[in-house]
Amino acid sequence: MLFEAFAAGGCRSYILGCEASRAAVLIDPELSLADHYRGHLLQNALTLRYIVDTHTHADHFSASRQLGATLGVPVVMHRQAAAPYADLRLDDGDMLIAGALKLTAMHTPGHTGDSMCLVMADRVFTGDTLLIGGTGRTDLPSGDPHALYESLFQKLLRLPGDTRVYPAHDYKDREHSTIADEIAANPRLQKTERAEFVAMMRDLDLAAPTHLTEALRTNMSGGKTVAQLLAEAAARVPFMAMEELDARLGANSGGDLVVLDLREKEAFAAGHISGARHLPRGQLELRVNSELPDPTVRIVTCCEFGKISTLAAATLRELGYLRATALDGGIAAWRTAGYSLEAEAPAVPRPSSS
């Protein structure tokens, strides 16, 4: 068997390949490593047969949907997974075959309701059910400490002791463990009584994952991350350098260039590029026809950090303003570079009539 492990932060993913048939399986792919997986498959002349997510991840972005669509490979999850893009849904005991590779699904709810492990002859891919020296948490959506206890002590830990354990996470660069090692040394597995184990899991008081909402939203629905939206928008619009805009402002007496400031009123009033028009991003689509009656005009969008302006420039191009560009870096970079900003004079209070 050909075997390769990949790491991104604490996330672990795996490609298994049949040496004879060159068929391969990808387990728990992470979005930032999508190109690495493709490169490994090409370099080793492997044909991907299945992409498997062991559960709905809440702490990173799965690459399953993107890779499945790009490569034309079925995405595999447990039948309880909410993701609508899963092509093949497994029950407990179902087996995947790729050449000489045989992986059997073991439903192990607890970390999530759709958690499963993939069991082979000499190893098991445990997702977040069992980690090296730990277990998956049970305080996230669909988590259940009672279910995790049963999954561990009544199913997973009954595998042969020399079975290698390959989890979906490890933060100490450990490649694998074994079932016997975990039974002997994993602190959480020393609580062998259900009540003690459940109480321990409920008292962990762990911090929420950094990208919890976004990861669950995208992994459960197949939606896009904010980074993906920004990358797609950036690929559809050109940018204007600060020095280019500064030079053009001095020669803009004919009004052939519109600088569109998308920030809120207070930020615009505190300091904006000379001659910029103010149109908050939230009102762009509603006011664009009246504010920008000439669709042929050249537009430079700007915001504080250059992200909202990139999205807005892409929107303007979709609306037919084909000369829309975005300021590279935004107002923060403009300010740091020493270019001038104009501030609005504070409103003079009206004298009291009394």
Alpha-carbon distance of 140 to 209, in angstroms, equals 10
C-alpha 286/C-alpha 300 separation (Å) is 19
> What is the band of 208 on the pLDDT scale with cuts at 50, 70, 90?
confident
Q: 57 with 115, same domain?
A: yes
* Residues 158, 176 share a domain: yes
| pLDDT at residue 140, as a whole number | 86
Final residue before a domain boundary, out of 221, 242, 271: 221
What integer is the mean pLDDT of 270-283? 94
Domain assignment of residue 20, yes or no: yes
Answer yes or no: do 50 and 143 share one domain.
yes
pTM for the model stands at 0.73
- Please state, in angstroms and rounded to a whole number, the distance separating the CA atoms of residues 43 and 13: 18
**Poorest-pLDDT segment among 43-47, 100-104, 247-251:** 247-251
What is the pLDDT, as a whole number, of residue 217? 81
One domain, residues 215 and 231: no
Residue 63 lies in a domain: yes
Q: Which of 221, 245, 269 is the last residue of a domain?
A: 221
Report if residue 343 sits inside a domain. no
Q: Are 80 and 94 in contact (CB under 8 A)?
A: no
Residue at 351 is within a domain? no
In a domain, 347, yes or no: no
Name the pLDDT band for 37 (thresholds 50, 70, 90).
Answer: very high
- Mean pLDDT over 57-83 rounds to 92
Same domain, 71 and 167: yes
Residue 345's pLDDT is: 66
3-state secondary structure of 15: strand
For residues 11 and 157, membership in a common domain is answered with yes
Reported confidence tier of residue 202, pLDDT bands at 50, 70, 90: very high
What's the CATH number where 201 sits?
3.60.15.10
How many domains is the chain built from?
A: 2
User: Any idea what the CATH number is for the domain that residue 330 is in?
Assistant: 3.40.250.10
**Domain match, 193 and 258 both:** no
- What is residue 213's predicted lDDT score, i.e. its pLDDT? 76
In contact, 101 and 123? CB cutoff 8 Å: no
Mean pLDDT of the chain, nearest integer: 92
Residue 349 lies in a domain: no
- Are residues 36 and 132 located together in one domain of the fold? yes
Tell me whether residue 164 is in a domain.
Answer: yes
Q: Is residue 301 part of a domain?
A: yes
Q: Under a CB-based contact definition with an 8 Å cutoff, are residues 205 and 137 in contact?
A: no
What phi and psi, each to the nearest 5 degrees, are found at residue 56? -80, 110
DSSP of 67-130: HHHHHT--EEEETT---TT-SEEEPTT-EEEETTEEEEEEE-TTSSTT-EEEE-SSEEEEETTE
Whole-angstrom distance, CA of residue 316 vs CA of residue 28: 37
Same domain, 35 and 168: yes
- Tell whether 173 and 235 lie within a shared domain: no
Q: What mean pLDDT comes out for the span 164-169? A: 96
- Asked if the model's pLDDT at residue 252 lies above 80, the reply is no
Question: What range does the domain containing 196 cover?
Answer: 2-221
Side-chain-facing half-sphere of 326: CA atoms under 13 Å: 26
Q: Is the dihedral of CA 321, 291, 254, 259 positive or negative?
A: negative
236 in the same domain as 187: no
Average pLDDT over residues 79-108: 96
What is the amino acid identity at position 19?
E
More confident residue, 104 or 347: 104
Q: Are residues 104 and 246 both part of a single domain?
A: no
Domain boundary among 160, 191, 221: 221
